[in-house]
Every structure is written in structure tokens, then in C-alpha cells.
Amino acid sequence: MQEEKEFIGGDTNKTDVSESSVTRSTSDDFEANAGEDANEKVLPVDGNGNEVVDGGFWAWATVFGVWIVQFTGFGYTNAFGVYQDFYVRDFLSNKSSSQISWIGSVQVFLMMSSGIITGRLFDKGYFHRLMWIGSALVVFSLFMLSLAKPGKYYQILLSQGIAFGIGSGMTYVPSVAVLAQHFPSPHKRALVMTLVASGSSLGGVVHPIMLNNLFHGSTGFANGVRASAGMIGGLLFLVALPLMRTKYPKVTGAPTTTNTGAVNSKAMVAKFFREPVYIACIFGMVLVMSGLFFPIFYIQLDAVQRGLNSTFSFYSLTILNVASIVGRVLPGFLAKKVGIVNLVLVFAAGCAALLFSLFGVKTVGGVVAFAILFGFFSGGFVSLLPPTMALQADSPAEIGARIGIAFSFVGLGVLISTPVDGALLTKDKFLWWRPIVFSGVLSAVGTLFFLYARYGLGQRKKAGWKL
């Protein structure tokens, strides 16, 4: 049941090879891997014709390196609620909450939307270049942010919004996609991807605590940002980047090839958008993610404006991200028994329901309960998105492109939704019910798209209830 087929990836430790010397499993075999356990025995092969198996020293070293990338990249983005609160009440008090949220939304947009380019570059073998250049830009952007002056909106937008967004975007999708090379079995890959996603949650715990204490203590804004930049730079350049490896030989030339001939990038993208399930997943991701960033950006400001204890308010975002760690890790252990797409549905529906529950959150206990539950469900949802996209690939060479394209649309949704939240909230009189309804409806509709995708993918793969 095996035929030869090229398997594209990147590795700086190996020489280029010709297309004739590279093999990969057929798309039928790869798709079979997404089914029952018996089919998972059919694994792809590397450039030397050797069967690729899960794990190994460098595979797990790469997992740890990617975990750190998530901690320093997406994890820092998860701490934007601290900046939102600080900017609204102090550093950029001359700007509205909607204008300030554009900084965070541009950052998220560029981080995710860069995937439409970086996903294809990863597939062509530029993983290490993307990681080193992107990491350097992340650290540089934070040092530039530390030089920003109070009230100078454009300085913060350029450094924190644009430069940090581009830098983290160069590393985000490639760091997630490289895991598929080391762990080709779908359920093991899902487990590893969810474990790695916990890095961004822990980053959302550590960074807010650190920044809140530095900004509101004797250190101040400038030195506080420099301290966080130094920590991030050390973790990336001394630990993460030396540990990460790619699995397959670098292949020169842009086209992806199959046993039926050459297929260029445009043809690959056109193929994706002829798949109703893929389109439904993208709509679902965009809508649910657009809704769930509202609490991440505004929960600390909400707690402060409701007159809750100031010390507790500073830790409200931290509580959410602590719960998110559990939410990101647990699905990896359940995916094989319950199904990846089934879990996505559960977590998406949970996010939608919890967003509407914000109407009743008015006390410290209510904020704690909401933060724990929403952190769990939102963390689980985010961690399952890359495995869901990878599950639809007809060959591993498509994984980077599928994830990158999907996240580029997600970034566009977040770019628009969080400033809309701020505009609905208004500056002079905080009307919290407006963004609550807006975010809740987005997530609820997104859940319906995932329900359709679950049905369509089940028909396509002829799978039972466990998908």
C-alpha cells in the first residue's frame, strides 16, 4: 500500500537532494493515518527511504525549543491585557480603549497572518532562517518599545504592534509545523502540539505578573520592558534556537510535487479552497478566536473598572492563563479516545457559553470562576487548531501551508474584532454588555461552522464518531 512520493521539509544539516531521491507516502496512506490505530502503522519515509517514527532525542529537544518559542511569542501576546490596562489608565490616557486595542490586534494579526508566507517558506526548507531572524526582531522590538514616550501612540504601535507582530509571526507557524515532521502519527502529533501550546499559557502567567510588578513598582515602564526583553532574548538565543531541528532534507525549488506531476503553490492553495470542510474550519477559527480575545485583552481592565481589589485585578489575567495551561495540555491526552474535531467542537461551544456568562460576573468570586473556566476552554480550543488543520492534509508537505493560510485569516479577524470591542465599550462610560454580546455571538456562530466541518470531515474520511 505504499508508493513513492516527495516529502518536503527543511534541514540545515543535510545537503540538497534531487526530487528523484526524495520519497514520501501517498496521500491515501497519509490520510489513512488520521483514522484508526491500525492505519497509524503506515508512516512516511525520509529522503533516504527510511521509515520515519515518532520521537527521538532531537524530536523532544525540538519540542522543548518550540515550547520556549510559544512562551516568548504567543505567551507575551497573551499578556497584552496588562499593557491595555496600563495604557488606558496611564501611559496613553489621551487615547481611547479602541485605539489602544489596535496595538494588540495588529500584533496578533501580524503574528498569525504571517503564516501565509512563513508556512510556505517552511515547506521549502527555510525553517532555521525564519526562526533566527524572527527571534532577533522580537527582542529588538521590545527594546525599541522601552524607548517609547508617554502619549506617543505611533512609537508604541510601530514597536509593539508592527515589529513584534512580524517577528513573532516569522516564528509562530514554522515552530508549530516542524513538530509534524518529528511526530507523523496524527494523535501523537496532536498530543505534542497541545503540550507545546501550554508554553503560551505559561507565558501568559509569567509575563503579566512580571510586567504588573515592574510597571507599578519602582522599576517603571521603560526598565520593565527592557527586563522582559532581556529574559526573552536569553531564552530564545541560548536555549530554544540551538535545540530545534528539522527532520527532512532541504529540497530546492518552489513546487510541491506528487506522483502525478508538479503542483505549484497556486494550485495547492486553489485545491484547499475547493474543500468545503477547510473553508468551514477557517470561518469557525476566525469567528471563535475573534470572540475569545475579548477577555484576554480586557479582563484586567474590567476588574479594575468594577472596583475590585487592585491587587486581585492585576492577577485576573494570570488566573485565566494558569487555567489555560490545563486546557491546552489535557486535549492532547484525550484526542485519541475522543477525537480531535470532536474536542474542538466542545471547547468552541464552551467559549461561546462563557462569554455570555460575563453578564453575571460582578464579584471577585465571579471573576475567578470565569477566568478559570474561560482559560480552560479557550486554551483547549487554541491548542487543537493546528492538529485540526494538519488532519485535513493529503500529505505532510501541505501542513505548513494549511496552518499558515488558516491562521492568516484568524489574524485578520482579531485585527478587526478587538478594536470593535473597544469602540463598543467606549471610553467615558464603560458599557460592558455591548462587547459581551458581540464576542459571544461571534463564537456561537463559529461553533456552528465547526459542527458542519465535523460532519463533512467524517463523510470524507468515512470515519465513525471518533474524529
Per-residue pLDDT at 365: 87
The mean per-residue pLDDT over the stretch 381-406 comes to 82
Mapping DSSP to helix (H, G, I), strand (E, B) and coil, where does residue 307 land? coil
Summarised one tens digit per residue, pLDDT across range 242-273 is 999 988 655 433 334 333 333 466 788 888 88
State pLDDT tens for residues 304-353: 777 777 777 778 888 888 898 888 888 878 877 888 889 999 999 999 99
User: Average pLDDT over the chain, rounded to whole?
Assistant: 81
Cβ contact 316:367 at 8 Å: yes
Q: For residue range 64-115, what is the model confidence (pLDDT) as tens digits? A: 999 999 999 988 988 888 898 899 888 998 888 888 989 998 998 999 888 7
Q: State residue 467's pLDDT score.
A: 61
pLDDT greater than 70 at residue 301? yes
pLDDT in tens, 359-392: 888 888 888 999 999 999 998 898 888 888 888 8
Nearest to 396 by CA among 119, 37, 149, 82: 119
Residue 23 confidence (pLDDT) above 50: no
Residue whose C-alpha cell reads 500529505 in the numeric block: 395
DSSP-derived pairing of the beta strands 261-263 and 256-258? antiparallel
Architecture per CATH, 19-256+264-461: Up-down Bundle (1.20)
Q: What is the pLDDT of residue 17?
A: 37
**How sure is the predictor about 151, in pLDDT bands with cuts at 50, 70 and 90?**
very high
- DSSP, res 383: H
- Confidence grade of residue 465 (pLDDT, cut at 50, 70, 90): low
Q: Is the dihedral of CA 444, 408, 302, 93 positive or negative?
A: negative
Residue 236 and residue 400: Cα distance in Å, rounded? 22
User: Whole-angstrom Cα distance, residue 216 to residue 214?
Assistant: 6
Q: How far is Cα 262 from Cα 93, in angstroms, rounded to an integer?
A: 56
pTM: 0.72
Radius of gyration of the chain (CA): 22
C-alpha cell of 334? Answer: 484525550
